[in-house]
Amino acid sequence: MTDSPAETERGAAVGAGAPFADGRRVRAGVPWSVLGVISAGGAIGAVARYSLGRAVPVGSTGFPWATFIVNVSGCVLIGVLMVLVSEVWPGRRLLRPFLGVGVLGGYTTFSTYIVDIQRLTAAGAVATALAYLAGTLVAALLAVYGGVTITRTAVDHVRRSRTRAREVR
């Protein structure tokens, strides 16, 4: 993007002389490569979520284990990914959009989490709904924290080992 006003075909600034002319911006180009990897990743993540949902069916008043497993495991993977993308592979422009937004965005399903809570409540399984509501929230937060902590510890260990190996040589 640019801070200059948008240009017309004749080269004059759009809205020149208007009170808000400085606030207009030229529209940025579409980042097709980013949109492409997000789309591909989203398809992969959605298929993985669908497959797990089919493998772990749930009754109308039962605990929705498939959605719980998907969201908590997705949170662990988001924690792992954020450490790897920021500390191990920081220069890979398409990695975070592909894995974070695409695969894990398509895989996790917090909208289904809300629908499951509504379904359980409507079926009279209020205790199960509340347990699911609180359990998913706590487990998801702990999963992100665990993923970040374990991955950061592993990365630090590998770096220290490599440093020691270089010092020995």
Q: Which of 53, 63, 38 is nearest to 117 (CA)?
A: 63
Same domain as 162, residue 86: yes
- pLDDT tens digits for range 2-41: 444 444 444 445 555 555 555 556 567 778 999 999 999 9
Same domain as 25, residue 88: no
Q: Which of 142, 151, 152, 150 is nearest to 73 (CA)?
A: 142
Q: Average pLDDT, stretch 60-65? A: 87
Q: How does residue 133 score in pLDDT terms, banded at 50, 70 and 90?
A: very high
The structure's pTM equals: 0.76
Residue 149 marked in a binding site? no
d(CA 109, CA 102): 12
Same domain as 42, residue 16: no
In this predicted model, which residue has the larger pLDDT, 32 or 76?
76
Q: Domain total for the chain? A: 2
d(CA 15, CA 58): 59
| Residue 117 CA: distances (Å) to CA of 88, 92, 137, 139 | 38, 38, 12, 16
Same domain as 88, residue 71: yes
Same domain as 41, residue 13: no
Range of the domain at 12: 1-30
Q: Which of 102, 83, 90 is nearest to 158 (CA)?
A: 83
Provide the pLDDT for residue 158. Answer: 94
Provide the pLDDT for residue 18. Answer: 57
Same domain as 6, residue 74: no
Same domain as 116, residue 71: yes
Same domain as 125, residue 135: yes
Residue 105 marked in a binding site? yes
